[in-house]
Amino acid sequence: MDIILATTIIASLFLVIGAAEPFAARVRLPYSVILAILGILIGTGATFFLRTELTDALNPVAEAILNLPIRSNAFLYVFLPTLLFQATLGMNLRRMLDDWVPILVLAVVAVVVATVSVGYALSWASTLPLAACLLIGAIVSTTDPSAVVSIFRSISAPRRLARIIEGESLLNDAAAIALFGLFMGFVMLGIPDPGLGDALARFPILIAGGALTGWLAARAAIWLMALFARHELAQLSISVALPYLAYIVAEQSVGASGVIAVVVAGLTLNLTAPGRLPPQSWTNLRELWDVLAHWAGALIFILAALLIPSLLEEVRLEDFLLVGVVIGAAIVARTAILFGLMPILTALKLSPNVERPYRVAILWGGLRGAVTLALALAVTESVRVPDGIQRVVGILATGFTLFTLLVQGTTLRWVIGRLGLDRLSPLDEALSRQVVAVALQTVREDVARTTENYELNRDTVRSEAKRFGERLDLAVTKAEESADILDRDRIALGLIALAGHERDTILARVRERTISARMAEVVLSDADNLIEGARTQGRSGYQRAARRSVAYSRAFRASVILHGRFGVSGPLARMTADRFEQLLSQRLILRDLGTFIDGRIRRIHGRRVAELLHDLLTRRIETLETALEGLRLQYPGYAEELERRFIRRTALRMEEREYVAMREDGLIGSEVHTALMQDLATRRVAAERRPRLDVAVRRAAFVAQFPLFADLDDGAIKRLARSLSTRYVDSGEVILRKESAAKRVFFIATGAVELESAGQTWRLGRGEMFGQMAILTHKARRADVRAIAPTTLLVLDEDRFRRLLQRSQALRKAVRISAEKRGVDPAGLVPEE
């Protein structure tokens, strides 16, 4: 093909892509549906002009369009890795991990159920071998979520629901293509009826090999990118190479799933790169992949649609019946997942409750698109697949895709409207009226000041003020009509707004580089949890999410076990440092939220709601300060280093702002500005480097701070530090129960606990101990012990405690005081001095 003509056609397709998006928004149809329709029209038009006798003038163009080098390998090796890799980079993985059970179950189980349902239905309704029927089932089992997700976002559907759909779609692409490769092998080998168990037994091997390949490729890429820290274009180039090399190595060298390799490589880069790359480089990398994926997604749709007329050339009457069988089986399979499996997951508390209208919308929004057509094209191109099977696979996959795009896609928004998902709830409607009234009052004040400053014509100002006043009076009247919102609902809405402002503040701090990109992912995830908690469960959901944001994670507990039992301190040091930085970042954000409550929230929801939100915010700050103070006491030098790092980064940000202002004011030229910014970048690299935390070295210094161990010499303190183990407990967690065996004594390093026995309660704080009474009296424990704040405990076994009691006068004195508080004679517990 002539290179000039081919370039002209591709450039013209980009013009079509550019015009399709605004046209789709205007006609209110999914973007993918418009692209598919345009591709079909272009392909049909080219076929018509090539075959018609009306004119030959357009024959070269029509022939060039139909002869574009569109092969299945171009879709699978060029476009598909781009789409999958960008999808993983755009995910909030920490939020996805919260819902990994429903995402994984829905993705894998949905693909298997759809493949089996369509395969066996076709096997019953046709004469095709079972392997070919299961191959068709795998091809049509992958869904394109873009339509339903975009519409869900436009109607403000719950973020968690949209996130589950996106995660499911990403993984079901991988699972479906892996199954496709499996059954394609059976068809090419001529195995008509493979055992389903044997087929599925090979499935984990494909996934494991692809996952390992993707992880290794990503780790190598991150290492290279970190080496080129000052060369952003080099980093971007490496990121572009990563998904393609991972895909090719997995497919051609390892014999595993290239799709899984790309997904794992993207997930690894998403989790690791923010902490290894400069924040601006990471932002630019994601923006680059957004553009590449937009082009790839549009091209794969329009190029695949160009092939539809040729794929349907040999359609027969009986093929329509088989297409109907595929449609029916696929819808039944998806219905079973959405209305059978999802309620079970919800009942088991593994998945959020998805209301019936949303499930109907997801069912009808299960569109198929370019991936389905690309897989069908791969079958039709294979010379090892019998001609009869090639024809049926191409027709059934194309017919089913057209049904989902032209029937489901064009009616999806209408279905959502019939379900009532496009309308605000009465509560949101009432809130919107109040927001409009408050906003217009603020605008009126600002406009009045502006007109005074510019000395505008008084008659014009008076006329416009009258019009604006009429609109304001109408808005106030409507707001007063809906003033009967319950306080409970106002509180929930206020908390949602507060968490949303917290999220916006985090993003602003990241742009200013006050918060690192690594910590931004964590605190943004916490803010999203707050929003969803307040939206679903009101005040209690918000408070639960707030407690989780400062709680010790399972990974942190596992790192404590590794350190305590096996002496592996690396993970604990890294996670402790992360926790330090996370708490400092949260404190920085929470300090700024009070002004927002006194401003917007008080004006919209009233004084009572504002005061309650202030109270909740104060409690969050107190809990945060308790957790931070505990770490500061445990690692005083490290806390100081982190605070110094924060001050340096803030100073660098202010210095950069001054240089930019001087450049804009013409005080310095571009050469001076460039030199200053290069010097600033060098110092910023040093400031971004986090200080190292050595948890092993600091244990002895921490123990020496305890008043109970004040009379021990240095040697005894070092030996005691080696004997003590650390236990971290969250607020509300039960540490000891009544009647449990007395084997250990606990010293409170940070936090506080509450002892409850016989209707009485005692509270103990830092520097105090508990558990010693049961050991010394040789009786079962008489009290439940519960943490009332995030608490760090040092634990000592019974034998070492008794030996320590003999050596430490301060410890014996503390035991006697504790016994007297509980009404126990101390004389029989410890000897007199």
Residue 154 has pLDDT above 70, yes or no: no
- Of residues 671 and 432, more confidently modeled: 671
> Do residues 500 and 531 touch, judged by C-beta distance below 8 A?
yes
Question: How large is the average pLDDT for residues 362-383?
Answer: 78
pLDDT for 539-569, tens place per residue?
888 888 888 888 877 787 787 777 766 667 7
What is the reported pLDDT for 424?
65
- CA–CA–CA angle 798, 804, 807 (5° rounding): 150
Which pLDDT does position 822 carry in this prediction? 65
Q: Binning pLDDT at 50, 70 and 90, where does residue 649 land? A: confident
Strand 725-729 relative to strand 769-770, pairing: unpaired
Dig out the tokens for 97 from the structure.
């991990």
pLDDT band at 302 (very low <50, low <70, confident <90, very high): confident
For residue 410, the model assigns a pLDDT of 81
Give me the pLDDT at residue 483, please. 55
Cα separation, 570 vs 589, in Å, equals 29
For residue 633, the model assigns a pLDDT of 64
Token pair for 94: 């920490």
Q: What is the pLDDT of residue 479?
A: 62
Q: Given this model, what pLDDT does residue 699 score?
A: 62
* Cβ–Cβ < 8 Å for 536, 492: no
Secondary structure (3-state) at 757: strand
| Of 341, 344, 334, the residue nearest 404 (C-alpha) | 334
Lookup: tokens for 74? 């171009």
- pLDDT at position 71, please? 72
Res 152: pLDDT: 60
Does pLDDT of 745 surpass 80? yes
CA torsion 737-740-741-742 (nearest 10°) is 30
- Give the pLDDT score at 194: 62
* pLDDT, tens digit, 9 for 90 and up, residues 408-420: 878 877 887 788 7
Burial status of residue 114 (CB atoms within 10 A of its CB: 0-12, 13-18, 19 or more) = buried
Query: CA-to-CA distance for 94 and 521, rounded, in angstroms?
Result: 8
The mean pLDDT value for 592-620 works out to 83
Cα gap 132→128, rounded to integer Å: 6
pLDDT band per the 50, 70, 90 thresholds, residue 217: very high
CA-CA-CA-CA torsion for 705, 708, 713, 719, nearest 10 degrees? -80
Per-residue pLDDT band for 572 (boundaries 50, 70, 90) equals confident
Would you state the pLDDT for residue 214?
92
Q: Is the pLDDT of residue 797 over 80?
A: yes
pLDDT of residue 244: 93
- pLDDT given at position 626: 77
Report whether 810 contacts 707 (CB < 8 A).
Answer: yes
**Complete edge-to-edge strand list for the sheet that includes strand 791-797:** 725-729, 791-797, 744-750, 769-770
Model pLDDT, residue 151? 58
Rg over alpha carbons for the chain, rounded to the nearest Å, is 33
| Percentage of the chain exceeding pLDDT 70 | 83
Residue 461 to residue 459: CA distance in whole angstroms: 5
The predicted pLDDT at position 215 comes to 92
**Which span out of 69-73, 126-130, 740-744 was modeled with the highest average pLDDT?**
126-130
Q: Looking at residue 245, what is its pLDDT? A: 93
Residue 682 pLDDT exceeds 70: yes
Complete DSSP assignment for 134-198: HHHHHHHT--B-HHHHHHHHHTT--HHHHHHHHHHHHHHHHHHHHHHHHHHHHHHHT-SS--HHH
pLDDT the model gives residue 427: 62
Q: Is the model's pLDDT at 145 over the cut of 90?
A: no
Residues 746-751 have a mean pLDDT of: 79
**pLDDT, tens only, 179-211:** 787 788 777 777 666 655 655 666 677 778 888
Measure the N-to-C terminal CA separation of the chain; round to a whole number of Å. Answer: 102
**Bigger pLDDT: 288 or 95?**
288
Q: Is the pLDDT of residue 241 over 90?
A: yes
pLDDT over 80 (residue 407):
yes
What percent of the chain is modeled with pLDDT above 90? 4
- Residue 1 pLDDT exceeds 60: no
Residue range 23-42, pLDDT digits in tens: 887 887 777 778 878 888 88
Question: Higher pLDDT residue, 61 or 98?
Answer: 61
pLDDT mean across residues, the chain: 78
The better pLDDT of the pair 437, 804 is held by 804
pLDDT value at position 98? Answer: 66
